[in-house]
Structure 1
Amino acid sequence: MNLRRLKYFVKIVDVGSLTQAADVLHIAQPALSQQLVTLEAELQQQLIIRTKRGVTPTEAGKVLYGHAQLILRQCEQAQSDVNATGFALSGQVSVGLAPGTAASALSLPLLRRVRERHPGILLYLNENFGTTLSELIMNGRMDMAVLYGGREVHGLSFVPLMREQLYLVSADPELHARDDISLAEVADLDLLLPRTYNTMRRLVDEAFLKLGLSARVIAEVESSTTLAAAVSEHFGSTILPESAARALVAVHDAHLCRITQPDIEAPLALCLSGHLPLSVPAQAVKAILLELIADMRGNLVSAQS
């Protein structure tokens, strides 16, 4: 095997067509087909199945595809690290930020600080669900992600960042003068929560279960824009980590109450690959992320005082 053939193979699988892959790679289709035949001969396995609709990988092809992505990514990192020696940092760095969490509040500060310190770094931000982000990191397609949770998973490592209290966010005037509310009282409210696979939802459901209660969920909403609008229009209340709750009430007609009896805490963590080292540019972005998290912790302490 060589890197060029692996690159060709990955592109064929991504595009799903030998003809289109040849166009993208700017080589003749017969030459691309020959490279694939050579790769299959080296591995003594059929890697691609040709159909009328295009090509699909065999089981052996799927295994090679996963390994090839990691190999090519490591080679790109090696090139970037070598090029960075003695020069300003440059290269691509991908960061995942779970939506509806403290992580999403980091996006603009992260863009600004990386641009100020390392203008040669091209930052890619992906706001997606925590499970999706962790899968991308495990597959070597993303460098790091800030998300809630942090349960040990094979192939991933988690750096604890902070723990946040969960707050009820509501526009109900009867709650306006209150600083806290018991979870039993929350059970009587119409709630807008994310779906059950979301870490925040799991924390809330587990807390209710311990009291022998359940949340009265009237809609499952995972769009922060829709959620904020629905809360401010008195459609229902929601439960958010403190940073996200304070960000919502700062710009919408709503207020927050800390949930007590019991207190519910959400652990924020930095998710990294357990086997792929970070490139030099990615290490620089990681350091900036940790700085921003430290600033956020300080701001939350000040807000509580």
Structure 2
Amino acid sequence: MNLRRLKYFVKIVDIGSLTQAAEVLHIAQPALSQQLITLEDEFQQQLLVRTKRGVTATEAGATLYRHAQLILRQYEQAQADVKSAGQTLSGQVSVGLAPGTGASALSLPLLRTVRARHPNILLYINENFGTTLSELIMNGRMDMAVLYGDKSVHGLSFQLLMNEEMFLVAPRSMGITQDQIPVSGLRDVPLLLPRPYNYLRKYVDEGFARVQMIPNVVAEIESASTLSAAVGAGIGATILPESTARVVAAAGDIVQSRIVSPVIKIPLSVCLSDHLPLSEPAAAVKDILLELAGDLALGVRVEPGGDA
């Protein structure tokens, strides 16, 4: 097996057509078909099936596709690391930041600091839901992500950045004025929360369960902008980690109260692949991310260049 043959196979699966893949790869279709036959002989498995819509991967083909992506990415990473050895760090690094989390406060400091310290690193930032980001990391299509959670699963590892306390964020019209509010005091408060599979919702539900209560959820919202607008419009209150609560409260006539009895905390972590090593540029970006997260936990504002 050679890398070129794997690249051909991945491109065929991505496009779903031998003819179109041959055009993109600038190779004659019979030659591409022969490369596929050779690959199937090597694995002694049928890797693709022809349909009216083109070609699709068999179960064996889908397995090879996942491994091929990882192999090709590792090879590209090795090339980049060897080429840049002893030189200024350069290359592409992808970082996911889950929206509506404390990770959002890291985006601009991260861009500024990476730009100041490693101007030849091309930083790609993707703000998406945590489940989507973790899948991209597992598939080797993203280097790292900052999201809520700390329990390692197969294919992923989590490095804890901080534990954030949860706050009630409510429109002032609700008349909630205390700086702290017990969970029992939220019994009749209409809440706007994410769906139950969301990490934030899981920690909220666990906090309520500790006092044998169920949150009074009147709507489930995943969009950070819609959630802020709904709270500002007086439709309901929400529960957010401290860093995000401060941002939402500052955007309108909104108050925030620390939740106590019990205090609800949620872990914010760097999510990484548990089997793919980071490139040198990615490792440098990770170090900056850990540094900035430490400053965020201490409430220190980070200026361009990374000097607190």
Per the normalisation by structure 2, the TM-score is 0.94
Which residue is equivalent to 2:304?
none
Q: Distance in 1 between matches of 2:100 and 2:89?
A: 31
Of 172-181 and 230-239, the range deviating more from structure 2: 172-181
Distance 1:260 1:232 in 2: 23
**How far off is 1:300 after superposition?**
7.3
Q: What is the Cα deviation at residue 292 of structure 1?
A: 0.9
Q: CA deviation at 1:176?
A: 5.2
Q: Percent identity?
A: 66
CA distance in 2, matches of 1:12, 1:252: 51
**What does 1:118-157 correspond to in 2, within 5 Å?**
118-157=118-157
Question: 1:186 Cα shift?
Answer: 1.5
Report what 1:188 is aligned to: 188
Does structure 2 conserve the Cα–Cα contact (< 8 Å) formed by 1:47 and 1:60?
A: yes
Cα 1:26–1:187, aligned 2, differ >3 Å: closer, same or farther?
farther
**Within-5 A mapping of 1:78-227:** 78-175=78-175, 177-227=177-227
Alpha-carbon separation, structure 2, partners of 1:238 and 1:269:
22
SS of alignment partner, residue 169 of structure 2: strand
Question: How big is the shift at 1:73?
Answer: 0.6
Cα distance 1:272–1:63, how it changes in 2: closer, same or farther (>3 A)? Answer: same
Greater displacement, 18-27 / 188-197: 18-27
CA distance in 2, matches of 1:88, 1:95: 20
Preserved contact between residue 243 and residue 300 of structure 1 (Cα < 8 Å): no
Q: C-alpha separation between the residues in 1 aligned to 2:280 and 2:152?
A: 25
Question: 1: distance between equivalents of 2:174 and 2:191?
Answer: 16
How far apart, in 2, do the equivalents of 1:46 and 1:152 lie? 34
- Aligned residues of 1:164 and 1:242 also touching (Cα < 8 A): yes
Q: Which amino acid aligns with 1:159?
A: Q
CA distance in 2, matches of 1:227, 1:172: 16
Bigger shift: 248-257 or 46-55?
A: 248-257
Match of 1:267? 267
Residues in 2 aligned to 1:26 and 1:239: alpha-carbon distance in whole angstroms = 54
Q: Does 1:66 align with 2:66?
A: yes
In 2, Cα distance between the equivalents of 1:230 and 1:174?
A: 13
| Residue type at the aligned position of 1:217 | V
Q: Go from structure 1 to structure 2 and tell me whether the alpha carbon gap of 1:135 and 1:291 turns closer, same or farther (over 3 Å shift).
A: same
Pair 1:27-2:27 in alignment: yes
**SS of match in other structure, 1:92:** strand
Q: 1:220 to 1:174 in 2, by over 3 A?
A: closer
CA distance in 1, matches of 2:185, 2:154: 39
Alignment of 1:243-282 (within 5 A): 243-282=243-282
Q: Cα offset for 1:11?
A: 0.9
Which shifted more, 129-138 or 30-39?
A: 129-138
Deviations 1:167-218 (A, max 9, x none): 0101133545321111112121111101111100001111112222111111
Amino acid at match of 1:34: Q
Which is further off, 150-159 or 169-178?
169-178
CA contact (8 A) 2:146 2:268 kept: yes
Determine if the alignment matches structure 1 residue 235 to structure 2 residue 235: yes
Q: Distance in 1 between the 2:286 and 2:175 partners? A: 40
Partner of 1:11: 11
Give CA deviations for 1:212-242 in whole Å, capped at 9, x if unaligned: 2111111111111111111111011111000
Asked if the contact 2:190–2:216 (Cα under 8 Å) also holds between the matched residues in 1, the reply is: yes
SS in 1 for 2:196: coil
Mean Cα deviation higher: 23-32 or 265-274? 23-32
Conserved in 2, the CA contact under 8 Å of 1:129 and 1:198?
Answer: no
Q: Is this contact kept in 1: 2:133–2:145, CA < 8 A?
A: yes
Instruction: Provide the secondary structure at the position in 2 that maps to 1:93.
Output: strand
| Residue 53 (structure 2) pairs with residue 53 (structure 1) | yes
Counterpart secondary structure, 1:299: coil
Show structure 1 runs of 4+ deviating over 6 A: none
Q: CA deviation at 1:251?
A: 2.2
> Structure 1: how far apart are the matches of 2:177 and 2:211?
26
Report the 3-state secondary structure (helix = DSSP H, G, I; strand = E; otherwise coil) of the residue aligned with 1:185: helix
Instruction: Give unpaired runs (5+ residues) of structure 2.
Output: 302-308
Counterpart Cα distance in 1 of 2:244 and 2:300: 11
CA drift of 1:30 comes to 2.0
Is the 1:77–1:279 Cα contact (8 Å) retained in structure 2?
yes
CA RMSD, Structure 1 to Structure 2 (Å): 1.5
Letter in 2 for 1:278: L
Q: For 2:24 and 2:150, how far apart are their aligned partners in 1?
A: 39
Question: Could you say what secondary structure the match of 2:250 adopts?
Answer: helix
Matched positions, count: 301
